[in-house]
Structure 1
Amino acid sequence: MASTSRASRASTSRGANNTQLSQSQSSQPAQVTQIDDKVRLIMKYILDHSAAKIPMKEKDLVPLVGTRSELQCRLPLVAKLLAKRYGIRLHQLQDATKMYICMAEAPMASIHEMTPEQRPQLTLLYIVLMYIFLRQMRVEDTKLYAMLALLGIRVDEEHAYFGSNLRKLIEDTFVKQHYVKRERSQPDSAFEEAKTYILWGLRAKQEFTYEQVVGFASKILKQHPTDFSELLEIAKELDE
Structure 2
Amino acid sequence: MVAAPRLQAQQGELKSMKNSMIRYILNVSTKKTPIKSIDIVKQCLRGEQKMFLQLLPHVQEILSDVYGLQFNEVKEKTGKFYLVTSEFAPGSEFEWTVRQREDNRLLFIVLSYIFMKGGKVIEPVLFGFLKKLHIEDEPHEYFGHFKKTITETFVKQLFLKKEKIEMEAGNIEERFQYSWGHRADLEFKKRDCLEYVAQLLKRQPSSFSAQFEECNSDDEDVEMAEQ
* Aligned mates of 2:40, 2:171 — CA distance in 1: 47
The reply to whether residue 172 of structure 1 matches residue 149 of structure 2 is: no
Question: Which residue of the partner structure matches residue 184 of structure 1?
Answer: 164
* 1:83-98 → structure 2 map (5 Å cutoff): 83-95=64-76, 96-97=78-79
In the alignment, what sits opposite 2:30? 51
RMSD: 2.6
Which 4+ stretches in 1 moved above 4 angstroms? 109-113, 191-194
Structure 2 residue 140 is matched with structure 1 residue 159? yes
Shift of 1:138: 0.7
**1:116 and 2:98 matched:** yes
Deviates more, 1:89-98 or 1:42-51: 89-98
The aligned amino acid for 1:119 is: R
Could you list the per-position Cα deviations for residues 3-62 of structure 1 after superposition, in whole angstroms to 9, with x for gaps in the alignment?
Answer: xxxxxxxxxxxxxxxxxxxxxxxxxxxxx9xx8222111111111221210112333312
Shift, 1:216, TM fit: 3.0
Q: Tell me if structure 2 keeps the 8 A contact 1:107–1:209.
A: no
Instruction: State the partner residue of 1:230.
Output: 207
Superposition pairs of residues 118-157 of structure 1, within 5 angstroms: 118-154=100-136, 157=138
CA distance in 2 between counterparts of 1:114 and 1:57 reads: 27
SS state of the match for residue 80, structure 1?
helix
Q: Is the 8 A contact 1:42 1:61 kept in 2?
A: yes
Give me the whole-angstrom Cα distance separating, in 1, the residues matched to 2:217 and 2:143: 30
Which string of whole-angstrom CA distances, capped at 9 and with x for unpartnered residues, describes residues 164-183 of structure 1? Answer: x2111111110111101011
| Structure 1 residues 196-239: Cα deviation after superposition (integer angstroms, max 9, x where no partner) | 111011111111111111233356xx444x44432363353243
Percentage of identical aligned residues: 30
* Cα drift, residue 117 of structure 1: 2.7
Which residue does 1:42 correspond to in 2? 21
Structure 1 counterpart SS, 2:79: coil
2:206 aligned partner, one-letter code: S
Letter in structure 1 aligned against 2:90: M
What letter matches 1:206 in structure 2? L
Distance 2:35 2:119 in 1: 27
Question: In 1, distance between residues paired with 2:89 and 2:151?
Answer: 23
Partner of 1:11: none
Secondary structure of residue in 2 paired with 1:94 = strand
Verify the 8 A CA contact 2:194 2:212 in the aligned structure 1: no
Deviation at 1:103, TM superposition (A): 2.2
- Alignment partner, residue 25 of structure 1: none
Maintained 8 Å contact 2:158/2:181: yes
Aligned length: 202
How far apart are 1:89 and its partner, in Å?
1.8
Other-structure match for 1:79: 60
